[in-house]
């Protein structure tokens, strides 16, 4: 199912726009009916949700939805489990709002936020640049 099918299934909302608010920082952006949350963010000035593949595979854009209704397209089970989904933890790039949303940014659990050196003890490669950028985001 694509997003336009979904808008058809909710005829009242076609011309509607929803407000997506990032809880921790109170930044928010508009999302057109039928548009996914990550695309809407990328079209705004907000940069709070990490952007990866934009296609439901990598888990970079994981968010949890504290309030509001939404639908999702298929998400890779490697990054969103059934229990994640039941707990309203979803991928922003596969989530289409049906109302205003309040969301919390989870992001991928990778690279580990503690990786301070180039190569951490578990062999993880992380760069100073990626680190700085990750910090800038918070």
* Residues at the contact surface with ligand FES, assessed by CB under 6 A: 38, 51-54, 56-61, 91, 93
Positions 91 through 110 that interact with other proteins (CB under 8 A): 108, 110
Positions 108 through 137 that interact with other proteins (CB under 8 A): 108, 110-111, 118-119, 122-127, 129-130, 133-134
Instruction: Report the alpha-carbon distance of residue 132 to residue 120 in Å, rounded.
Output: 16
Alpha carbon separation from 7 to 15, 47, 73, 82, 95 (Å, rounded): 9, 26, 13, 25, 13
Q: How far is the CB of 16 from other proteins (least distance, A)?
A: 23
Residue 49 exposed, middle or buried by CB count within 10 Å (0-12, 13-18, 19+): buried
- DSSP codes joined into one string, 114-130: T--SSB-TT--B--HHH
56 binds other proteins (CB under 8 A): yes
CA of residue 100 relative to chain centroid, distance: 15
Contact range with other proteins by CB under 8 A, out of 12-20, 21-29, 48-56, 62-70: 48-56
Among 14, 43, 66, 74, binds other proteins (CB under 8 A): 74
Contact range with other proteins by CB under 8 A, out of 12-20, 28-36, 47-55, 98-106: 47-55
């Amino acid at each position: 199912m694509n997003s336009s099918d979904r808008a058809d299934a909710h005829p009242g909302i076609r011309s509607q726009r929803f407000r997506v608010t990032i809880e921790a920082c109170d930044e928010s952006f508009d999302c057109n009916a039928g548009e996914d949350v990550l695309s809407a963010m990328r079209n705004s000035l907000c940069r709070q949700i990490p952007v990866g593949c934009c296609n439901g595979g990598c888990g970079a854009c994981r968010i949890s939805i504290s309030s509001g209704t939404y639908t999702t397209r298929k998400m890779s089970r490697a990054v969103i489990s059934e229990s994640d989904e039941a707990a309203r933890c979803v991928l922003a790039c596969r989530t289409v709002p049906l109302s205003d949303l309040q969301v919390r940014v989870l992001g991928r659990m990778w690279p580990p936020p503690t990786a301070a050196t180039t190569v951490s003890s578990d062999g993880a490669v992380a760069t100073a640049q990626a680190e700085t950028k990750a910090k800038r985001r918070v």
